[in-house]
Amino acid sequence: MSAPDDAAALGELTDRQQIHDLVLRYCSAVDRADYDGVRAVYARDGVDHHTGFSGPADEYVAWLRVRTAGFDGSMHLVGNHLVELLGDRAFAETYGTAVHWGTPRDDESLNFTSGFQYLDHLRRDPEGWRIVERIAVRQWTRSDAGRLRDPEGDGPRGSRGPDDPFDGARDRVRRIAAEERTR
């Protein structure tokens, strides 16, 4: 392989990884109720089509804030992820499972698992890869009402918002890394 071929292959791998990370950042932001983080994955002119919503990204984030207010938590798990690179545009298909739970535990609208497929039109903007249009296909939904049980013992618990252990754990690693760089 020649040097230009190596550079092209590295560029393609980098683009694929950045797009995959974008999908994961979206899922993490939804699960932590970080609505600024959700908005950040969309292009300025981005749109979203979800079950119960279709419109501009800003309106989607406002809708999501209201829609998820009743959840005690959610966990998006990403599976298959395919990307077709088309210069500064890309098409990505991502399969996953989203688990949702809330109180009361027997409320089917708050306690369910769904299988989803994200069909994303992406664009490389000055800020990096962003979603121009997302079609969130709901493949199936299963009720988990009445199935959630109490934790087995003491330990860290996830929560929606700033009390989630994510920020504290990330900040500790960042602080240690910064201290090591200044030595």
Q: Which domain holds residue 144?
A: 3-182
pLDDT tens, residue by residue, 59-75:
999 999 999 999 999 99
Report DSSP letters for 6-66, one per residue: HHHHHHHHHHHHHHHHHHHHHHHHHHTT-HHHHHHTEEEEEEEEETTEEEEHHHHHHHHHH
The amino acid that residue 171 corresponds to is D
Q: How far is CA 114 from the centre of its chain?
A: 15
Pairing of β 128-143 and β 112-125: antiparallel
pTM score over 0.75: yes
At 157, the pLDDT band (50, 70, 90 cuts) reads: confident
What mean pLDDT, rounded, does the chain reach?
A: 93
Task: For residue 98, give the CATH number of its domain.
Answer: 3.10.450.50
- The CA-atom distances, in angstroms, between 137 and each of 61, 88, 95 are 17, 24, 9
**Non-local CB neighbours of 100 within 8 Å, separated by 6+ positions:** 71, 73, 74, 110, 111, 112, 113, 114, 144
> What does the block give as tokens for 172?
């500790």
3-class SS letters over 107-167: CCCCCEEEEEEEEEEEEEECCEEEEEEEEEEEEEEEECCCCCCCCCCCCCCCCCCCCCHHH
pLDDT tens, residue by residue, 126-148:
999 999 999 999 999 999 998 87
State the Cα–Cα distance between residues 41 and 64, nearest whole angstrom.
14
At 94, the pLDDT band (50, 70, 90 cuts) reads: very high
Provide the domain count of the chain: 1
Higher per-residue pLDDT: 9 or 122? 122
